[in-house]
Amino acid sequence: MRVLVLSDIHANLTALEAVLADAGDTDEIWCLGDLVGYGPDPNEVVERMRAMPHLTCMLGNHDVAAMGGMEMEVFNTEARRSLQWQKKTITEDTLNYLKSLPDQTIIKQGVSLVHGSPRDPVWEYILNTLVARLNFAAFETDFCFVGHTHNQCMFKLDTKRDRVSLEIPKPGVVLEMTSRAIFNPGSVGQPRDRDPRAAYAIYDVEKQTWEPRRVEYDILAVQKRIRDAGLPDKHAARLAEGW
């Protein structure tokens, strides 16, 4: 069974379409949250995703923000401007779908799925080996798939030496999943690891392999839609930087 693992689409329909085309046929899709926020296509992304068969989708912090679950004051000016735009753009239908998404860890095929971390499924960022170490104690399966940081990476736990290591795998190289590990497929719609290509991964359940992948998409088209929508220019500029 091949599983398409993706995260942090962030209302970028062009990047999502490129990923779906590049991934080809898969048996299941596991999405680790943040369907909306930053990008110009929140309704289109939600519509496209929810129509996919065999989809499991987690709730992300930007999905929570779009639902109005947070006070406006905690956001900076740009974030507030995006939220105001989202408020008038996101349909009732989209909102209802976001509200239906799970905010707690889900276990699929023996893998823990969360947006942020097992300790704090919606909010915590696993950016370093210390935070990863603390989280290995918070899930029982061998593997955990997370999103949220927009970095395509993996944290491995070497139980014999009691060491946690951070690895940045090479896109297109198939990895054997041996030790306990936390895998991040990277972000579809707003990568932040200095590679502007859309990121995702293929998980093969029987073979127990993980293949991180990158795919080019029409960044200029998305930047134009962001600017035309009157969203903050930073959201457009950063797509070209992969940051």
Binding site for Zn ion (CB under 5 A): 8, 34
Shortest distance in whole angstroms from residue 62 CB to Zn ion:
6
Q: Toward Zn ion, which CB reaches closer, 135 or 187?
A: 187
Shortest distance in whole angstroms from residue 207 CB to Zn ion:
29
DSSP state of 27: S
Q: Toward Zn ion, which CB reaches closer, 26 or 151?
A: 151
Shortest distance in whole angstroms from residue 115 CB to Zn ion:
8
Q: Which of 129, 134, 103 is nearest to 116 (CA)?
A: 103
Six-digit token pair at 182? 């936390």
For every residue of 82-126, DSSP letters joined together read: HHHHHHHHS-HHHHHHHHTS--S-EEETTEEE-SS-SSSTTT---
Which residue is at the shortest CB distance from Zn ion?
Answer: 34
Q: Toward Zn ion, which CB reaches closer, 1 or 70?
A: 70
Q: Toward Zn ion, which CB reaches closer, 8 or 41?
A: 8
Our measurement of the distance from residue 17's CA atom to the centroid of its chain's CA atoms, rounded to an integer in Å, reads: 15
Q: Using CA of residue 14, residue 235, residue 93, residue 64, what is the dihedral sign?
A: positive
Shortest distance in whole angstroms from residue 79 CB to Zn ion:
12
Question: How far, in Å, CA of 194 to CA of 100, rounded?
Answer: 33
148 in Cβ contact with 125 (< 8 Å)? yes
Q: Toward Zn ion, which CB reaches closer, 18 or 59?
A: 59
Q: Toward Zn ion, which CB reaches closer, 4 or 164?
A: 4
Question: How far, in Å, CA of 86 to CA of 38, rounded?
Answer: 9
35 in Cβ contact with 42 (< 8 Å)? yes
Shortest distance in whole angstroms from residue 194 CB to Zn ion:
16
Shortest distance in whole angstroms from residue 155 CB to Zn ion:
18
